[in-house]
Amino acid sequence: MSAAHRSPAAAALAASLTLGLLLAAGCDGPPVTIVETLQELPSEHGWEPPVPVNGWKYIIVHHSGTPAGSAKIFDDHHRNNLHWVNGLGYDFVIGNGTGSGDGEVEVGGRWTKQIVGAHVKGGDWNKVSIGVCLVGNFQETHPTEKQMASLHKLLNFLQTRCQISSRLVFGHREVMEPGYTECPGKNFSMVALRASLPVGPPVYRAVNGNWYPIENPNGTGSGNGSGSESGHDTAPVLIDPDTGEPFQAIPVPEMSAPKRRLR
């Protein structure tokens, strides 16, 4: 049988025997190629930014504290009332069917441009964390089923894309001093959310030249202009809210004392 008419299985066997004979004869033989299976990310349109992804270390979940809203509504408020030059302080907003679709994931300009957020007051959290906001006041209501389904899908993407473990997914209240805020609300269990996420995300490998992390965790751009991203040199120990034990091996940004209470 000619080589041209061999079946794939027969060709593979012949190649294997040839390599074995070469090695037995003391020859180096052809180089062995190891092919790794790429992690397939459950990405939606706009989730992969058009610029290199920054070195984000944490994900922080918020609620809006309002019964209704959308990325556009919050962006208008942040620009016109808070005078943040980069607008919307969150990277992603997940709608509840009021200002946007129920479970709709809206991508903010900070994620698209990979610049620092404006969703945590004080310390360096905005420089190293991704902010995800669900529309609603979860002190009084609960997130919708579609919101939670979209949140899981988005967090799975971000965990894998940025290599963030479930232990580094926090609620807003967990990174602030006690009593500062209840965000994302008493009806939103961060313990349950973390338990539903991959403990360690699958290893992510880039599939094209545009997908790679960069070392600088500080992003680009001018932030929100509010003075809430002042730098600090020391990093205190953060307590794991699930176990009560400190994250002793994990460096975290310092949390400065808040001066006023937010939602």
User: Over the chain, what HEC string results?
Assistant: CCHHHCCHHHHHHHHHHHHHHHHHCCCCCCCCCCCCCCCCCCCCCCCCCCCCECCCCEEEEEECCCCCCCHHHHHHHHHHCCCCCCCCCCCEEEEECCCCCEEEEEECHHHHHCECCCCCCCCCHHHHEEEEEECCCCCCCCCCHHHHHHHHHHHHHHHHHHCCCHHHEEEHHHHCCCCCCCCCCCCCCHHHHHHCCCCCCCCCCCCCCCCCECCCCCCECCCCCCCCCCCCCCCCCCECCCCCCECCCCCCCCCCCCCCCCC
pLDDT of residue 62: 98
pLDDT of residue 246: 53
Give the start-to-end residue ranges of the domains of the chain. Answer: 58-195
What number is the average pLDDT over the span 74-103?
95
Residue 42: band (very low, low, confident or very high) from pLDDT cuts 50, 70, 90: low
- The pLDDT tens digits for 142-188 are 999 999 999 999 999 999 889 999 999 999 999 998 889 999 999 99
For 58-195, CATH gives 3.40.80.10
